[in-house]
Amino acid sequence: MSRASEIIVLCEDLAHEMFITRFLKKGWKIKPRAFRVSAYPNGDGSGKKHVQDNIDVEARELRKKRVSKILIVVQDADEFPVEQVRLDLENRLNPPRSDKEQIAFIIPKWHIQTWLAYLDGESVNESDKESYVKKYGKKSESKEAHPYIDKLANDCKMHNALESPPDSLIAACEEFDRIRSALS
């Protein structure tokens, strides 16, 4: 497969956008102009609802083009199991995504800040919805998150095994394999 000409990011908020775009810029040298981020509510509504309402629209757009594109959907699982959120996203696609389709679901448990805490060396509890947001909330929306994301991008690019990662990050790595070949 040829390298994707456009990467569509459908996410809830700035922290998600920064995490995904930095990860791909650093690990796969994706240029900023290759990204199209679907405008999220940014405090004026529910980011989760934005993702749920727009996933099928973005997938249809991806499917009608003859060029190689990737759709990355990022939604926090919050109080639901990651697998349940994945199934909900799958069910919002009509038709469902095929095994070879370049659509990846990235689903942090409560917040992307949990992953930053893990990448910072903390032993994380994914059922804790408060602690990591307090400590990493502002960092997740700034350049302060770059060292954590860069380390993950490097480990992923080099196929380095992660030591005791959170379950939601393991699931995200498995989803990432759906699009890996389109990034080269």
Q: Per-residue pLDDT tens for 4-44?
A: 889 999 999 999 999 999 999 999 999 999 999 998 887 77
Domain for residue 92, yes or no? yes
Please give the tally of structural domains in the chain. Answer: 1
In a domain, 136, yes or no: yes
Q: Which domain holds residue 52?
A: 6-183
147 domain residue, yes or no:
yes
Residue 1 lies in a domain: no
Residue 17, H or E segment: helix 14-28
Domain-embedded: residue 104: yes
Contact (CB, 8 A) for 47 and 12: yes
Q: Which residues in the chain come in under a pLDDT of 50?
A: 1
Distance CA 111, CA 59 (A): 24
SS3 for 10?
Answer: strand
User: Phi/psi at 172 (nearest 5 deg)?
Assistant: -65, -40
36: DSSP letter: E
> 168, 59 in Cβ contact below 8 A?
no
In a domain, 163, yes or no: yes
Give alpha helix (H) positions in 33-181.
Answer: 47-64, 82-91, 112-119, 131-136, 146-157, 167-176
- Whether 43 is in a domain gets the answer yes
* pLDDT at residue 1, as a whole number: 44
Does some domain include residue 18?
A: yes
